[in-house]
Structures are given as C-alpha cells and as structure tokens.
Amino acid sequence: MAESSGVTLPLDELPAGASLKSVTSQPSEIAGRTAIRVELTNEASGGVPGVDYIDQPTFVLLPVAFENGVIEVDVLGRLLPGAPDYARAFAGIAYRITANADRFEAVYVRPLNGAKLNPPGPRVNRGLQYFAYPGWDFERLRKEYPDGRYEAGAGIGPDEWIRLRLEVQDRRLSVSVNGVPVLSVNETKATPVRGRVGLWVDIGTEAFFSKLTVTAL
C-alpha cells in the first residue's frame, strides 16, 4: 500500500490494488481528460436507503494509506437517468477507511445545490457535506446541528470539473473548492485512525474522478 507522504494517481484507469465497494468503475474520457467513472451497482442503488446507499460505504477503495494530511482530487458529478428527485449528483472523497470499511469519514459535493444554479434556500447552503460513518450521516448532523456547521455552500454546478481539497489534522477539517475555502470544522465526528482513501459516490449519480494527490502533514 502506498504511503501518504506523497502519492499521486492520475486516475486514468483503476489503480493496481484498488477494490470496489458497492460501485462499478471504468476508465472514461470526459470534458477533455481521462478519468475513472464511478456509480453505484444495480444491487446497491436498488437496495434500502440508509443501508445500501445514502452516506454508506460506497466507493472505490484505493491502495493509499492516510490519517492526517491533504487530499486533493478533481471530481465531476451529474445525474443518471432515472435518478430520484432528491439526488444532487453526490460525489467526493472518503478517508480513514478501516480494514473492514466499518468506519470512515467523507466529504462530498452536491453540484445540483451549487450556487451557479441559484437553487432556493436552504439548498444554496448545502453544496458540500461532511459525514462520519457509522452513525453521523447528513440527516443526523443536520438535525442535531441546525446551524449547518457540517455543510456549506459552494460556487459549483454539475457537468464541470471541481477541484476538491481536504486538509485533515486530527479532528480538524478544512475544505476548499476550486481554491476557495468553504468549510472549516474544529470537531469532526470520528476518532482519528489510519486508514485508506476512497472515491465516494451516492444514489442517482454518475461521478468522474481525476488527478488525485495525497500528502502527509
């Protein structure tokens, strides 16, 4: 497994040592570059909400170790035909994934809530989300923290490349989108552990990932 002191993956194909958790993956070309296309399996997307999808372990598991540091990736998300009406092209990064994928944290974008589309409130403030699995999905975080401290607005939209940058130090998290800081969390919802990095996707979404870099702090 690659150490996180300095890992770069172009993601023009599935990296050696990667595995799939409730998703499919294939090399693709889109918007002027090569990328990995990821979506839920038919079994996962036809399953039970909150069990098979919605802030669940649905990702490409990469052979990259990580605890504290910086993760950067380009992501493009858009809706699949037949996506449920609540789908927002969810796609992002899972990190600190344990060996059995029974614990991890994640940050994902909701491009259809992006400010570029001028969505109605409160959606305009929900372009990006943090969650911790298990136990702390977006719904619980939103209910227990109505101030919205675990999500944020972002100047994004679907069908465009978005540069997502996570800086993680113990239980502190800072996220920027296209170089603009959008979210700062002082108390994330999981005890820091060394785990792996994943390319995460959720229901109704066709996601593309390119140019991943992981650096230890």
Half-sphere exposure of 160 (CA within 13 A, CB side): 15
| Residue at token pair 């409160």 | 122
Task: Return per-residue pLDDT of the chain as tens, 217 residues.
Answer: 765 478 999 999 999 999 999 999 999 999 989 999 999 999 999 999 999 999 999 999 999 999 999 999 999 999 999 999 999 999 999 999 999 999 999 999 999 999 999 999 999 999 999 999 999 999 999 999 999 999 999 999 999 999 999 999 999 999 999 999 999 999 999 999 999 999 999 999 999 999 999 999 8
Does the global pTM surpass 0.85?
A: yes
pLDDT at 217 (0 to 100): 83
C-alpha distances in angstroms, 216 versus 3, 5, 10, 59, 172?
9, 5, 18, 22, 14
| CA angle (19 as vertex; 113, 179 as ends), nearest 5 | 35
Instruction: Tell me the two tokens of residue 156.
Output: 């994004």
pLDDT at 3 (0 to 100): 53
pLDDT at 4 (0 to 100): 47
| DSSP β-bridge partners for residue 210 | 74
3-class DSSP state of 124:
helix
